[in-house]
Structure 1
Amino acid sequence: MKGLRLLLCTVLLIGGCDTNAVYKEYTDIDDGKWYIKNAPSFTFEIADASQLYNIYYNLRNSVSYGYYNLYLTRYLRDASGKEIESRLDELILMDPKTGKPNGDGLGDLFDHKFLIKRNYRFPKPGKYTMQLKQYMRQDPLLNIMSVGITVEKATQAH
């Protein structure tokens, strides 16, 4: 039954309509155990550097996750591997007072989409890589099922 829920959740995520998305990718975390040494990388192409982009974290956790938050360090690098930016972010997965999970839930899994950068302009067209590391000082960090990013063209309405 758990496998069926995971499959259904994956199908719903992949089938979601992100019309402005230029890149959307997840990496599954084996057995929901995210080791510090496991730092998924996501490489994407930016064709139009004059366009503004919104960048998001995608995260899936089990309701059994032991904390209300998650600290991640992100590294953005250009095609040559030069680091453009690194930053530590705190993601709030549950209400700190009530413990009620944030995000969209299906069974015991919750999906989150957190804005990293709004109206970001890449320095030039080309390939970029975003690498993510968990920074919770628990190794492995339990009940994180998958992590990823979405890069979307920013709409001018904001």
Structure 2
Amino acid sequence: MASKPMTAIRCLVISLILLSGCNGNRIYESFEEFPDQHWLVADTVSFTVDSLPAAGPKLLSVGIRYNDSYEYHNLYMRFLLRDSLNNIQLDSLINLQLFDPKTGQPLGSGFGNRRVLYDTLPSSQLPVSARVQFIHYMRKDTLMGIESVGFKIAALEE
């Protein structure tokens, strides 16, 4: 029978190995926080990505951190992809399901009343010195319960 300290050490080593393998393909990830935990329609969330490896397709994702004070089950937002000259390369409307529409259960990962949900964006290529923008496209001007919006780039394995 293993002693308690040895079991704890084994669990720690296994956890570190698992965690180190989780983000091996992540190239970039950043979140923009909303200090008052609400997203105003005038607040365009922007991410500028300058130095990425040029080779290979990429998986682009949006991340939404939200809590249970968000009053809808989904979130409509515009996704704009701009090049270095500020020309729009892609303009897309995205519908993110934050809560299950039938059961009301929050989707994504987290615990308590806070969750993070990632969803894939409709592009696999980024122009050099790209700027990514997100604008909420809901009927209300202020969305309570949205804590932050993030952008993630991961390398796709070929």
Amino acid at match of 1:57: V
The CA deviation at 1:137 is 1.7
Q: Is the 8 A contact 1:42 1:149 kept in 2?
A: yes
SS in structure 2 of the partner of residue 100 of structure 1: coil
Counterparts of 1:49-128 in structure 2, within 5 Å, are 49-117=54-122, 120-123=124-127, 126-128=128-130
TM-score (norm 2): 0.81
CA change 1:117–1:54 in 2 (3 A) is: farther
Distance 1:136 1:63 in 2: 17
The CA deviation at 1:34 is 0.6
1:146 to 116, 134, 148: 148
CA change 1:82–1:65 in 2 (3 A) is: same
Decide which moves more: 61-70 or 40-49.
40-49
Amino acid at match of 2:153: V
SS in structure 1 of the partner of residue 86 of structure 2: coil
Distance 1:93 1:63 in 2: 10
- Which residue in 2 is equivalent to 1:12? none
Distance 1:121 1:139 in 2: 31
The CA deviation at 1:32 is 1.2
CA change 1:101–1:112 in 2 (3 A) is: same
The CA deviation at 1:23 is 1.1
Equivalent pairs, count:
139
Q: Is the 8 A contact 1:103 1:112 kept in 2?
A: yes
2:38 is equivalent to residue 33 of structure 1 = yes
Give structure 1 stretches of 5+ with no counterpart: 1-14
TM-score (norm 1): 0.81
Distance 1:149 1:122 in 2: 13
Give structure 2 stretches of 5+ with no counterpart: 1-18
Decide which moves more: 97-106 or 109-118.
109-118
SS in structure 2 of the partner of residue 136 of structure 1: coil
Decide which moves more: 142-151 or 48-57.
48-57
Distance 2:142 2:136 in 1: 9
Distance 1:73 1:51 in 2: 25
